[in-house]
Amino acid sequence: MLYAIKPVLMSIILIQSLLYNPAWKIYNNKTYKISFKYPAEWKPNPSYFNKYEGTNGFFQISASSGENLSIDDIVKFEITHVSKPYGNNPTIKKLTIQRAEARLIIPSNDQGAEMNNQAGLIVTYPKPIKINSTTYSYLILWADKNHIEEISNSIQFDY
């Protein structure tokens, strides 16, 4: 019974926080089965898929099938990319988001300026999602490091 009440309570808390902070809107994506809050001034960037940005930051979402890979394997792939998107020594934080295992990637100080302070969040979907004919086990959220934690704290899985 408690489990049925908790999602409703979390939705009420999210709505209340938005009422007290009108500078944030709710992003809802039925394909990726998620919603979260983001700064209201950010607008969709038509040059990218699922990317919103403004003068003070951005977010973009994607997913990874992660077939036969752990969340830490996905993180390793993300941080060791040849372009070093998080610098040479990013900080990895273990998180739980809605009872799902997650990793927050905070860039090191030597991150390239072209990355616009990009941080990353990888979350294990509580239940894998299917997009077209592919099953995805991990949500990937990229956002500027000044907003990613507040965004990640508002994530709701919409099944």
Domains, the chain = 2-157 (3.40.1000)
pLDDT at position 22: 65
How sure is the predictor about 3, in pLDDT bands with cuts at 50, 70 and 90?
very low
Q: Are 122 and 5 in contact (CB under 8 A)?
A: no
The percentage of the chain sitting over the pLDDT mark of 70, rounded to a whole number, equals 86
Give the mean model confidence (pLDDT) for residues 122-129: 96
How sure is the predictor about 2, in pLDDT bands with cuts at 50, 70 and 90?
very low
Average pLDDT, the chain: 89
User: pLDDT by residue (tens digit) across 23-71?
Assistant: 999 999 999 999 999 999 999 999 998 999 999 999 999 999 998 999 9
Q: Is residue 127 predicted with pLDDT exceeding 60?
A: yes
pLDDT at position 159: 81
How sure is the predictor about 1, in pLDDT bands with cuts at 50, 70 and 90?
very low
Model pTM? Answer: 0.85
Separation CA 59–CA 116 (nearest Å): 11
Q: Is residue 4 predicted with pLDDT exceeding 70?
A: no
Q: Measuring CA to CA, how many Å separate 26 from each of 42, 47, 99, 105, 148?
A: 11, 21, 21, 23, 14
**Cβ-defined contacts of 7-16 (< 8 Å, 24+):** 7/156, 10/98, 10/156, 11/156, 14/154, 14/156
